[in-house]
Amino acid sequence: MCLNYRIRVLCCRPNPDCVQTITPTTSPTTTISTGTSSSTTPTLSVTSSTMSTIFSTSTSISTPCFCKIGNNIYSPGELIYSTMDSDGCRFYARCSETCTIERYTGDCNFTTPVTTTSPQTPTIITSRPTLPPGCVSSTHPPLQPGQKFKLSNCTELICEGNNKVVVNQTVCPPVKEITCANKYPAILVPDENGCCYHYECQCVCSGWGDPHYITFDGTYYTFLENCTYVLVKQIVPKFDNFRVHIENYYCDSKDGLSCPKSIIIFYKSATVKLTRELLNGMMTNVMYFNNKIVQPGFHKDGIYFSTLGINMIVEIPEIGATITFSGLIFSVKLPYSKFGNNTEGQCGTCTNNKRDECRLPSGKIISSCPQMAHHWLVGNDTSCSGVPTPPIVTTPPARPQCHVPELCKLIISKVFAECHDVIPPEPFYKGCVFDGCRITDESMQCSSLEIYATECAARGVCIDWRGKTNNTCPYNCPANMVYKPCGSINPATCSQSFVDHPGYGVTEGCFCPEGETLLSEDSNTCVSECSCREPNGIPRWPGEKWTKNCQECVCDRSTLRVHCTKHECPLPQQVSCSEPGYMPVQTQIPEDPCCTRTECYCNTSLCPEVTHQCFEGQEVITVIQPGKCCPTFECRHGCVVNETYYAPGTVIPSGPCESCTCSRSSYSGRQKFAVKCQPVTCDTYCPVGYKYTEEPGKCCGTCKAEACIVVMEDGTTHVLKVGKFWSPPGNNCTTYTCEKYNGQFMTVISKKSCPAFNPDLCEPDNIQLSDDGCCRVCSIPPSGCKKHNTSTVIKYQGCVSAPVEMTYCEGSCDAYSKYSQEANMMEHKCSCCQEIQTSIRKVTLTCSDGTYLDHSYTYVDQCSCVGAECVPQDIANQQQQTGKI
């Protein structure tokens, strides 16, 4: 079992390149039980070591190496995966420079959860924590008994309770090899559950040249018309209105040869068109979305646009569709699991059966696919003009016998030999010969070699063929880029909106030199680092904006260059400082330090001089009004005591038993204030439980507690002296007591918890309350003398018996001690519970040496109270000391 998902996929999944037989086994079940404590949480410890697995690839001087895992291809130095499992351990792998897969195990981050304890209150009964009935672990969420949790695609946990889980592993059926009609290798795909795998044929339809078609099931044919036709259409619409059309045009009017002009894709409410148009004097790839030109990286309504070399790519991940077009070459790839047995059109039926490939719109199957292709004409197509009329000649020249062009021979030569077993070369060879014998332009032959090499590269087989064409099929790159016949389909870019192509394999194209990175997917600019650099060397991220030296700067995403412009300040506003004492000052704007604004600042030295006089007993004060700079002066009324001014109504410090305030006086006609004092009246009332106490040096005393105050839920109070106990009426199980600590009175509450009591197990007359009146108890009277049975083992002289029945006497008997008036002394009556009838029983003992021994013991048959002599306690003690008892 592989604990890490990545390791399971890359190590444990069957290799599609190997033939193997899998024997079905029973479902393995693993039970994991983890213990819990108050300070630890159960964890699963996984120990792993660094591993290195070598995948051999055939290399030559002209063919660079790469790493291949299943159907995935990785260039040297490329990161294959980096992930972390549920235990916090990191796993990653890289493709080395020698094309070996190097796997590494990083550090594991384990954390110990902090244990918390609940505060306890002082009660007589304390509770102990119990284990939860479900399953709790750091590797999965809390589960209830019977609840399931999917740990991975192939592993399921089932909680049995008491922190015990059962691990069930999915058992996959044997993987069966299949043969595909189109001779493409079958691919290994996961089932719906993502755990098990099965082989599936690839639905790939391609076309090139003038034009040649290879249907989904591998049928090759040539079709020469210039109209718009249906390439792919669903027989039963399952995925909205998905369909693909092709628009042809006559690229050689003399021979009536046609070439693909545009690929049109319909999905949901969107219409996509891939074509080539003359822009700025050059034929350029153009992509349309709903009649608007879009750039690589655009996506909307589940449709993604990108480019790869000279190819335009449209991907619809929701249905797994990929459509490419380069001007002369097109390709439609669909998953068999979604479109198998449900396609029609010029691309065929995708049924893994060539016999039903030539299907008409009516559903009828015919034998000729070129004849079938005529029937898929799109109605109301105004671009159809028929085959152009060739110029009239009096004597038609005799067509010379066609020899196989040298370029076409490359397809079946050793140059492509590595790919012959992966993709059959015959259709591409036939198409190349067809073009070479009818069109003098050798570039049309290059399209057959190019599409064959492209299909090979998509399956991990790199063919460096252009150098073998004597520069007939060049691939021109800008001066700052280099050509690679087998580069990564996802080259690294500086763009954050990088489109990751979900396909696999390698591709030819123009790539950045070693040590440089592509600026963006739709550019041909290579940079040494994905950031801008300021003149002082500070790096800036693409799109980042900043202000420096009062200039607005930005790191241009398209060029990775810093562009700066002068910071623009807002127009200054006219400010008038007309108030006395204010003067205009230029200040820096805090939120915009590069700009200034005019503000009015207060300068008291500019205020006019003002003199003010007050009457006797008044004070001159300076008043600053809000929003004013220069002060104003006012005469303030009040009282002056010990050279200290007190406002009217203010309390003036005085003796402890009087209260003085500054009050208005009616002594004169004008307003005047004087100090008035009144004696202080003490409040001697104290609430229940408190006592009024006078304090030395103070006029009035305070209320001090002298007992504990118990406040009940109904609002009633009870005063409780220190050391006293009290229980509320009707609640003998709760006791209150008052204690005093450091001069503070504290009420201590004790609550008694009664033991479990079942009245059904006690006679009603025996049910009583405990001595404190809190709990019900069963008072059982002493039982009378009777025989009791027990089972025991008899041991004698090293021999042992089997368990035998043994009896004994137990119980109370009548006894008393009372004064007798007649005898003038104490009378005593004593009786003991003892045997009155016995018998001898025999038993066989087994000895350690294997022998047997017969033994007899006394068996009590009947018990009764038997009279006995009553001995006083002091005499009994003396007899016991002398050994008489």
Dump pLDDT digits (tens) for 347-384.
999 999 999 999 999 999 999 999 999 999 998 655 56
Q: Do domains 198-374 and 786-882 have the same CATH topology?
A: no
Cα(200)–Cα(181) distance, integer angstroms: 12
What are the backbone angles phi and psi of residue 783, rounded to the nearest 5°? -85, 155
Which residue(s) pair with 276 in the sheet? 285
Beta-carbon contacts of residue 722 (< 8 Å; ≥ 6 apart): 707, 708, 738, 739, 740, 745
Question: Taking residues 393-404, what's their average pLDDT?
Answer: 62
pLDDT tens for 722-757 read 888 888 888 889 999 999 888 888 999 988 888 888
Are the beta carbons of 216 and 205 closer than 8 angstroms? yes
Cα(347)–Cα(771) distance, integer angstroms: 100
Confidence (pLDDT) at 332: 96
Confidence (pLDDT) at 254: 59
Question: Taking residues 173-191, what's their average pLDDT?
Answer: 89
Confidence (pLDDT) at 151: 77
Higher pLDDT, 556 or 373: 373
Name the percent of the chain lying above pLDDT 70. Answer: 80
Confidence (pLDDT) at 20: 35
Lowest mean pLDDT among 114-118, 359-363, 401-405, 464-468: 114-118
Confidence (pLDDT) at 723: 87
Confidence (pLDDT) at 602: 92
The dihedral sign for the CA sequence 172, 177, 181, 187:
positive
Confidence (pLDDT) at 57: 32
Helices 443-458 and 426-436 cross at an angle (nearest 10°) of: 170
Highest mean pLDDT, choosing among 383-392, 613-622, 768-777: 768-777
Confidence (pLDDT) at 264: 97
pLDDT tens for 53-82 read 333 333 333 345 777 776 566 777 777 777
28 pLDDT higher than 80 = no
Lowest mean pLDDT among 16-20, 99-103, 314-318, 809-813: 16-20
Confidence (pLDDT) at 884: 47
Taking Cα atoms as reference points, which of 704, 686, 687 lies closest to residue 695? 704
Helices and strands, counts by H and E, the chain: 8, 63
pLDDT tens for 297-354 read 899 999 999 887 778 999 999 999 999 998 888 999 999 999 999 999 999 999 999 9
The dihedral sign for the CA sequence 679, 682, 683, 684:
negative
CATH 3.40.1000 fits 198-374, yes or no: yes
26 pLDDT higher than 70 = no
Higher pLDDT, 3 or 396: 396
Please list, residue by residue across 26-39, b when 16 or more beta carbons sit within 10 angstroms of its beta carbon and e when fewer do.
eeeeeeeebeeeee
Confidence (pLDDT) at 620: 76
667 falls in which pLDDT band (50, 70, 90)?
low
| Amino acid at residue number 401 | Q
For the purposes of burial, counting CB atoms within 10 Å of the CB of 659, is it exposed (0-12), middle (13-18) or buried (19 or more)? middle
Mind giving me the DSSP string for 122-161? --S--------SSEEETTEEEE-TT-EEEEETTEEEEEEE
Question: Taking residues 414-425, what's their average pLDDT?
Answer: 90
Question: Taking residues 845-862, what's their average pLDDT?
Answer: 90
Q: How far is CA 273 from CA 214, 292, 560, 725, in A?
A: 21, 10, 32, 95
695 pLDDT higher than 70 = yes
| pTM tops 0.85, yes or no | no
271 pLDDT higher than 80 = yes
Domain chopping of the chain, boundaries:
5-36+45-109+132-169, 198-374, 532-566, 786-882
CATH class of the domain comprising 786-882: mainly beta
Higher pLDDT, 43 or 147: 147
Lowest mean pLDDT among 32-36, 38-42, 456-460, 574-578: 38-42
621 pLDDT higher than 50 = yes
